[in-house]
Structure 1
Amino acid sequence: MGPGTRRGAAVLSSLTLLAGSACSAPGEENAVHLFFVPEPSIPAIVEQCNAMANGDYRIVFHELPRDGAGQLASVRKELGEAGGADIAGLDVTWTPEFAERGRLAEWTGAELAEAERGVLEGPRSTARWAGKVRAATKNTNVQLLWFDDRLVPRPPSSWDELIDQAARLRAGGKPGHLLVTGAEYEGLVVLYNSMVGSAGGRLLGEDGKSAVVDAGAVAALGTLRALADTGALHPFVARHREEDIRLAFERGEGAFQVNWPYVYPAMAQARPVDLPHFRWARVPGSVPGTGGRSTIGGYNLGVRAESARPEVFQAALCLRSPENQKLAAVRDGLPPTLEQVYADTTPLDPARPVDPVTNPSMATAYPMKDTIAEAVREAAPRPATPAYQEVSATIARVLSPPGAIDPERTAATLRTELGGVLG
């Protein structure tokens, strides 16, 4: 997942459903049990799909825990042989694990064609493992560089440019820090993976079974160290997660933040007077003028191996239809995986005029949509491996804190420790 993939929903929602609170009546054979993360629009989407099903199925929504570890533990249980899920929400990094365990049905035939129609390549890759499609993409995510245009009239396209701009701001007595997720957790891995992708590097081999940590990965370590050495990073970087940096930016403690798109609706709610100056660009790259590649996040829908019935696939397809991806984008800030949704100009209710609050369109509720679509097309997937959780924990530990990184030495440590995890 992108660590911020669901945080926007948590910030903006007062959803009070309890996990597993929806239960089907005994013997209800057409019930399709969906286990998914807390997302404000999911109840409405489920209701709409049930209304359109004409009795072929009835989706029963079970809410997963809010924290990532709890979600993974629950999905492992519910996708097991004795589990209760028919459809489960999968963080994009989980597909290899569950596919390798044989817990996900393969998508084939007409259902496969529909699941892949119009999907951007970055998200499409996260639903595959070992040459087979094991999930349908529901939403994607990429981080952007967010900045205050009163401090930064022109966004930097490279990390060196950002370092220079930050230094000039601090020299002038203005907020000149870059806010990033530098705590020892997945957020640091996401940041580093974006830098690795921007430098054309690799951490693991294509089969996900060997550690590479090539020259591009070493260069990315040098970028992290340079940001720390030059003072561009916030003094509390080693404690910061997504919400920490979002709030610090809103308090005026930085000129830049690298974060997920949920920060835009959060800013609109928390500081509407500053919203016109809250701008965005793609994350910086290694070379000036080229732009960077952001780590791809998001969620997919996996069908449990024992639940491979036509109505279950149809229910999953409805949950991630263009209309429902659009609803999740404008209401919850979740980027679509479908190209056509980014080009959609109609409001949620086409029968009424566009209103930014009551009847938004993609343009009014999601002004950063074109930048997101561009970033998604050129995104940097995280290393695909059934052992991703162990790989991620290892990378986060070795890179923490960023100020202690020695590129060549740290790269050697990564190769050794990742090799141990994979070997």
Structure 2
Amino acid sequence: MAVAGSLALLATACGSGDDGNSSSGGSSAGSLDGRGPITLASGKDTSGNLQNQLNAWNAAHPNEKVELKELPEDADAQRQQMVQNAQAQSDSYSVLVMDVVWTSEFAANQWITQIPEDKVPDLGKLLPATVETAKYRDKLYAVPMTSDGGLLYYRNDLLAQAGVNQAPKTWDEMKAACTKVLALPAAKGMSCYSGQFEKYEGLTVNFSEAVNSAGGEIVGKDGKPNVNTPEAKAGLEELVNDFKTGVIPKAAITYKEEESRRAFQDGKLVFLRNWPYVYALANKTDGSSKVAGKFAVAPLPGKTGAGVSSLGGHDYAISSFAKNKATAIDFINFMASEERQKANVEKTSQAPTWASLYDDAGLNKQFPYLAPLKASIQNAQPRPRVVKYGDVTAAIQQAAYDSLSGKTQPDQALSDLQTKLQSLITQ
């Protein structure tokens, strides 16, 4: 996340649920010792490939096996379980699969261990934008494992039938294309577009993308909230109006990643905003997808041109309370290797952090979205990198959800959000 480094990291605040014993420096480095079995705490593996990756490690390390501790699918629930585990100073989680926006909070609260950069020999071969997500106060606390940039999935078969020859670059172009497609008999019962609008972390992502794609921001480069602006209003109003007019189906207010993916795969949507992992699943020919071979991907559209993705992805961090940390760092380096990342891309279509894989000819033939995805990641905007991220994202979700569901007008929602963020970020 190249732009992320310019956002101030506010170490004066304590993390959500702080036990009062945190310091701004995070957990110190140097205690990466101990060998033996470890655990990996990860959200539900919707790709179906994580255990295969772990089996490769376990086969080569019979005395240092890793056991998967699978957490819920929902990112907020994952974070909450990790926070509770850390507050209890439990050693039941060794390696944490963390959303890229959790680093500041977990490091400031000393819940994860600082990693000396010389312990990660391939760090310089990873996309610089992803490495920034793993740092707090310029120190490394995790290793980037997968990245993510939002992509626009679209039914190129139906667009072609409707005489639309290229993917839309703006919101207006997307809606104009929908008007033509939905007039086709083949599109009967379909809706135009969806993202993820349930009140959870995905809504923070979709709201952020709408605001950024309209030229706005949530937190400025000076680290101060700046969401009560005409640009942010334009982004939020776009989503609100799309719900009102039916461009976005009413059911989408309940959609997370998987619900929206299934709607697209079931042929209910012309356009879908989602992450790269959807590509492999939507192209399955086992009968689970009705759109296999019938869709393509493009960069997200914006207000007047190309849109701006939120930077997503996951980093692997070592719990401060874990045993066998020497095994943990070796396991992390194994999973971050070019070989393992390539194997994972081939099976899941998840975005790698290893830079050279985006130029791999074989992978580009298999996954033609890699080139636009690399650009999406490099140009992505981060969600606010603040210590009290849990509280900040909850405030964003509440404001956006109330506006999308018609409870609060966009003007009032953004004004209230500005006030709330000022209280959270300046404490």
TM-score normalised according to structure 1 size: 0.79
Structure 2 CA distance, aligned partners of 1:207 and 1:304?
A: 30
Q: Please tell me whether residue 156 in structure 1 is matched to residue 168 in structure 2.
A: yes
The answer to whether the Cα contact below 8 Å between 1:201 and 1:213 also exists between their aligned partners in 2 is yes
SS at match of 1:410: helix
Checking the alignment, whether the CA contact within 8 Å between 1:35 and 1:87 is kept in structure 2 is yes
Alignment of 1:266-281 (within 5 A): 266-269=281-284, 270=287, 274-281=291-298
2-side partners of 1:272 and 1:172: how far apart?
21
| 1:256 aligned onto 2:271 | yes
> Structure 1, unaligned stretches of length 5 or more?
1-27, 346-360
Of 24, 32, 45, the match for 2:53: 45
- 1:177 aligned counterpart, secondary structure: strand
Pick from 185, 210, 220: which aligns with 1:195? 210
- Pairing 1:377–2:394 present: no
Q: Tell me the residue number matched to 2:105.
A: 97
DSSP-derived class of the 1:150 partner: helix
Which aligned pairs between 1:9-158 and structure 2 lie closer than 5 A? 29-39=35-45, 40-50=48-58, 58-68=64-74, 69-80=76-87, 81-112=89-120, 114-152=121-159, 153-158=165-170
Distance 1:104 1:94 in 2: 11
The separation in 1 between residues aligned to 2:42 and 2:126, in whole angstroms, is 21
> Which deviations, in whole Å up to 9, do the C-alpha atoms of 1:313-353 show, x marking residues without a partner?
222111211111112211123210111122234xxxxxxxx
Q: Distance in 2 between matches of 1:244 and 1:370?
A: 26
Bigger shift: residues 260-269 or 95-104: 260-269
Q: Would you say how many aligned residue pairs link Structure 1 and Structure 2? A: 375
Q: Secondary structure at the match of 1:264?
A: helix
Alignment match, 2:177: 165
Report what 1:286 is aligned to.
303
Which residue type is aligned with residue 276 of structure 1? G
Superposition misfits of 4+ residues, deviation over 6 angstroms: none
Q: Does the aligned pair in 1 maintain the 2:277–2:351 contact within 8 Å?
A: no
Is the Cα–Cα contact under 8 Å of residues 41 and 97 in structure 2 kept in the other structure?
A: yes
2: distance between equivalents of 1:52 and 1:264?
Answer: 31
Q: Residue 145 of structure 1: CA displacement?
A: 0.8
Cα RMSD for the two superposed structures: 2.8
What secondary structure is seen at the aligned counterpart in 2 of 1:236? Answer: helix
Code of the residue aligned with 2:92 in structure 1: it is G
Structure 2 SS opposite 1:93: helix
Contact 1:104 1:302 in 2 (8 A): yes
Q: Does 1:410 align with 2:424?
A: no
Q: TM-score, structure 2 length as denominator? A: 0.78
Amino acid at match of 1:338: W
- One-letter amino acid matched to 1:402: L
- Cα drift, residue 420 of structure 1: 3.6
Tell me if 1:304 matches 2:316: no
**TM-fit CA distance, 1:364:** 5.2
What is the CA–CA distance in structure 1 between the aligned matches of 2:50 and 2:40, rounded to whole Å? 10
SS at match of 2:158: coil
Counterpart CA distance in 2 for 1:90 and 1:213 is 26
